[in-house]
Structure 1
Amino acid sequence: MLDAKILVIDDSKSVLSALEILLQFDFKIVETIRNPNQISSFPNLQEFDIVLLDMNFSAGVNTGNEGLYWLREIRKKAPHISVIMMTAYGAIDLAVKALKEGATDFILKPWNNEKLLATVKSAYELRKSLKKIDELKQAESNLKQVINQDRNYIIGNSKALTSVLNLSRKVAKTDVNILITGENGTGKELIARELHRMSTRNNEVFINVDMGSISETLFESELFGHVKGAFTDSKEDRAGKFEAANGGTLFLDEIGNLSLQTQAKLLSAIQNKVVVRVGSNKPIPVDIRLVCATNGNLDKMVADGLFREDLLYRINTIHIEVPPLRDRDGDILILADFYLKKFASKYDKPGLRINNLAQEKLMAHTWPGNVRELQHTMERAVILCEGNVLKPNDFLLHAGEVTTMNTESVTLEEMEHVMIINALNQHDGNYSAAADQLGISRQTLYNKMKKKQ
């Protein structure tokens, strides 16, 4: 017996009795009503799975208009219910009209019991499928809301930041490709998320891909997906980041770290708006809003033959340069106060404040690590402070570039980090060139930098 609720509406008592007897052995609940006027006040109609509805209720009338009217009323009260129309006056045009009005199927009187049961069971399966689809859509919508709410806020009111936000608002509603540049720690991802939030795609997902963390061998699988058996350990089909972002925004961070070979594959996907999973030859169309970011100088990389010029043109319809923290005037103290309150709450140290001398020290610092450095500085100060007032000595600040150092007072790890910083500075943030100078792979260099952040 199927766990289904059936409602039969017919003005003939004998029809109601016959259907009730026939259906009660296959369906859990079967209810009947003779007067269609009861539909308007029928309790919990939306809880029923199927309605069998007669098309003619008045004596001598066989146009089917009454049934169509009540079909529309049922659909108003319970839009997802499956309605099967019944009539003794069969006509193709009437059946077509009922289906166009939203009926699931059509039964002629007198009916064949087996055919009627098969029709009702099919309608029930359709009802279950539609209900499942609705549940999945709701779950997907809830998941997207949770994902998109997982974001930090852009803090500050400096002229430099305001200019960036104004430009972002102008282009957010469009679907043009955007390139965000700026030093490490300036908040390029926050700008990308803000673009998504203000876009027409804000009800869809925002997918963030750290291109520097993807090895060249896994590039296609990660971005375009793969099918079962495409390579060792590929035990099931898997969608790539392009498919996952379909309808929403795809953010490719650290795009300057891609090799020329992977750049060519990325360019093809962007141009054609189609991806092909590894191990398959089936093209999959994708509709994404593309936002890319880098801390490198892509124009110089193009001149040096390290970045494809055609890819740069493709991703750089609009260029947004995020200013370093040292160029954001009074935002330093605004951000410091924001992080002070955040970490004071996190570590249960209420009532903390920064004295004037400490504020002057924060303002005088060049912040080579930008907002990320300020965030870590504030967290460390809150954790280590012993009173309610943060003083200059509570803030440990480092210089941006170190060319000489006292080797007796530092660890091997610190010396390595200094060498990496110097190499990156010498090559304008170009990871590939810096890695060549240091004698390590670009992937190793990137991992070491991520570990220090």
Structure 2
Amino acid sequence: MEPSTARLLILDDDADVAFAARMLLRRRHADIKVLHDPVDLIAQPAQADVDVVLLDLNFTPGRTDGAEGLAALDLLLRQPRPPAVIALTAYADVPLAVEALKRGASDFITKPWDNARLLAAVDSALARRAAPPTPAASSALMGDSNAMNAVRALVASVGPTEANVLVLGENGVGKELVAQAIHLASRRADKSFLAVDMGALPEATFESELFGHRKGSFTDAKGDRDGRFQAARGGTLFLDEIGNTPLAAQAKLLTALERRAVTPLGADRPQDVDVRIVSATNLDEAQLFDPAVFRPDLLFRLNTIVIRVPPLRERKEDVPGLLRHYLGHYERQYARPARGLSDAALAALSAWHWPGNVRALRHACERAVILAVGPHYAFADFGLADPAPASAALSAPAPAPADERTLGDLERAAIAAAMDGAKGNISEAARRLGLSRAALYRKLDKHGL
């Protein structure tokens, strides 16, 4: 999942609450500030130059009138470019949260929050701040190649419709960015965009996570909880890695899509849901059409429109622009000096085969910005193997002799072999390696795979 470039601020006097919110949001957003006292907004006005603020309404112990939070809200909304403000409040403070909405807050979240609800609220706030959906809806899909122009044209055509869309592409090509662009080009752009990693949902809790549950429906069900379908109500539900959904769970998902209704665990009647479905997978189409892997009836529900996102090696003319974008982004993030690329580095990076696609390029740029010391970025700053000749674009670098290979080399080779054997299926590769999906993603990023 590509982290956004949005800037978030959490303003809460409870360090534990602020930490929990930051840990949840950092999965999607790289730039998150935390403050514990609204006085800091006055002392350091630049702190308020953000896109979304999660604002507690009471700061001094014992106070419940919300005056401090409302004053901070007024201050934030007086900024030249005011952020979207989401009020954080205890259940007893809901009337206070309503007052915050009247004063200009975009939403409120009750504590303890539901993770899906909080993520959806932030996504919705960011969507409302976005420019009108055309032509900016696909502006995050960078590249001037014919392939990317075709992707953007498809997004512009399908976005305003209600058609379900299936996005195909290798790991790291930016499938979620395509899904977000479709959402922003739709009539649902002012509602939630909620992403779900289907491969990471345990089969035992699949129904609870997607459809919700009622208090007492199972041992740990201590209260009613909405599922992802309800949390995305009115907006877009992005089912990432849909190809990794177990067959039994696929049947339950098909039923929900056919009926446009879900029944929470423990409930006695279904709830209508109004969501648009965009899904994505890194499986190739031969695997998708294998009924032993994916139900044909579910596939036909999901693939009304298919958008294929090309790997970076097939659109190398986009590499220079991507390099400039990400190098500039990380130079600003880490307050590092702007550097140009040497001609040799640019040629080598443009010829590189980028097996990890745009995600790998982004991580390589971050490494270069952190470690570069010369007046220009050199190829070695990006942490890649020796430049690959164009004729060997799909070939892995030749391994070092066994007695010269480091533990990192061996780990990288093992992961590459497992990914190759699993044909890019993350869940299968993780199983072969004895790792969790999350651990495998971290190692893929670490080794630029």
TM over 0.5: yes
Q: Confirm whether residue 289 of structure 1 aligns to residue 289 of structure 2.
A: no
Residue matched to 1:55: none
Q: CA deviation at 1:167?
A: 0.7
Q: Confirm whether residue 364 of structure 1 aligns to residue 364 of structure 2.
A: no
Shift in CA distance, 172/387, structure 1 to aligned 2, threshold 3 Å: same
Q: Does the residue aligned with 1:379 lie in a helix, a strand or coil?
A: helix
Counterpart contact for 2:427–2:437, Cα < 8 Å: no
Residue matched to 2:58: none
Counterpart contact for 1:402–1:422, Cα < 8 Å: no
Give me the CA root mean square deviation: 2.9
Q: CA deviation at 1:298?
A: 4.4
The whole-number CA distance in structure 2 between the counterparts of 1:384 and 1:433 is 34
Q: Confirm whether residue 378 of structure 1 aligns to residue 365 of structure 2.
A: yes
Q: Which runs of 5+ in 2 are unaligned?
A: 1-94, 109-120, 131-136, 389-394
2:421 to 409, 420, 426: 426
Q: Confirm whether residue 448 of structure 1 aligns to residue 439 of structure 2.
A: yes
Q: CA deviation at 1:156?
A: 1.4
Matches within 5 A, 1:306-325: 306-325=293-312
Counterpart contact for 2:415–2:433, Cα < 8 Å: no
The structure with the largest alpha-carbon Rg is 1
Counterpart contact for 1:403–1:422, Cα < 8 Å: no
1:139 to 92, 106, 121: 106
Counterpart contact for 1:298–1:307, Cα < 8 Å: no
Shift in CA distance, 402/295, structure 1 to aligned 2, threshold 3 Å: farther
Shift in CA distance, 264/343, structure 1 to aligned 2, threshold 3 Å: same
Report the residue type matching 2:441 in the other structure.
K
Deviates more, 1:422-431 or 1:194-203: 422-431
Q: Does the residue aligned with 2:243 lie in a helix, a strand or coil?
A: helix
Counterpart contact for 1:401–1:422, Cα < 8 Å: no
Q: CA deviation at 1:282?
A: 1.9
Shift in CA distance, 392/224, structure 1 to aligned 2, threshold 3 Å: same
Counterpart contact for 1:431–1:445, Cα < 8 Å: no
Shift in CA distance, 224/304, structure 1 to aligned 2, threshold 3 Å: closer
The whole-number CA distance in structure 2 between the counterparts of 1:190 and 1:169 is 14
The whole-number CA distance in structure 2 between the counterparts of 1:413 and 1:397 is 13
Q: CA deviation at 1:147?
A: 3.9
Residue matched to 1:177: 164
1:259 to 246, 261, 265: 246
Residue matched to 2:148: 161
Counterpart contact for 1:147–1:205, Cα < 8 Å: no
Q: CA deviation at 1:439?
A: 6.9
Q: CA deviation at 1:221?
A: 1.0
- 1:58-98 CA-to-partner distances (Å, cap 9, x unmatched) read xxxxxxxxxxxxxxxxxxxxxxxxxxxxxxxxxxxxxxxxx
The whole-number CA distance in structure 2 between the counterparts of 1:234 and 1:140 is 26
Shift in CA distance, 380/285, structure 1 to aligned 2, threshold 3 Å: same
Q: CA deviation at 1:347?
A: 2.0
Shift in CA distance, 286/410, structure 1 to aligned 2, threshold 3 Å: farther
Report the residue type matching 1:319 in the other structure.
V
The whole-number CA distance in structure 2 between the counterparts of 1:305 and 1:405 is 39
Residue matched to 1:217: 204
Shift in CA distance, 415/347, structure 1 to aligned 2, threshold 3 Å: same
Report the residue type matching 2:418 in the other structure.
A
Report the residue type matching 2:440 in the other structure.
M
Shift in CA distance, 229/165, structure 1 to aligned 2, threshold 3 Å: same
Shift in CA distance, 308/133, structure 1 to aligned 2, threshold 3 Å: farther
Q: CA deviation at 1:192?
A: 0.3
The whole-number CA distance in structure 1 between the counterparts of 2:269 and 2:406 is 53
Shift in CA distance, 237/409, structure 1 to aligned 2, threshold 3 Å: farther
The whole-number CA distance in structure 2 between the counterparts of 1:450 and 1:311 is 27
The whole-number CA distance in structure 1 between the counterparts of 2:199 and 2:428 is 14
Report the residue type matching 1:209 in the other structure.
V
The whole-number CA distance in structure 2 between the counterparts of 1:226 and 1:409 is 55
Q: Does the residue aligned with 1:450 lie in a helix, a strand or coil?
A: helix
Report the residue type matching 1:446 in the other structure.
R
The whole-number CA distance in structure 2 between the counterparts of 1:226 and 1:417 is 41
Q: Which runs of 5+ in 1 are unaligned?
A: 1-127
Q: CA deviation at 1:199?
A: 0.4
Q: CA deviation at 1:210?
A: 1.0
Residue matched to 1:352: 339
Residue matched to 1:51: none
Residue matched to 1:249: 236
- 1:22-59 CA-to-partner distances (Å, cap 9, x unmatched) read xxxxxxxxxxxxxxxxxxxxxxxxxxxxxxxxxxxxxx
Count of residue pairs the alignment pairs up:
321
1:392 to 368, 373, 379: 379
Shift in CA distance, 154/403, structure 1 to aligned 2, threshold 3 Å: same
Residue matched to 2:18: none
Q: Does the residue aligned with 1:338 lie in a helix, a strand or coil?
A: helix
Report the residue type matching 1:188 in the other structure.
K
Q: CA deviation at 1:137?
A: 10
- 1:349-405 CA-to-partner distances (Å, cap 9, x unmatched) read 223110100000101101110101111111111111112211233232148747955
The whole-number CA distance in structure 2 between the counterparts of 1:137 and 1:205 is 19
Report the residue type matching 1:179 in the other structure.
L
Shift in CA distance, 134/338, structure 1 to aligned 2, threshold 3 Å: closer
Counterpart contact for 2:175–2:309, Cα < 8 Å: yes
The whole-number CA distance in structure 2 between the counterparts of 1:326 and 1:346 is 27
Report the residue type matching 1:426 in the other structure.
G
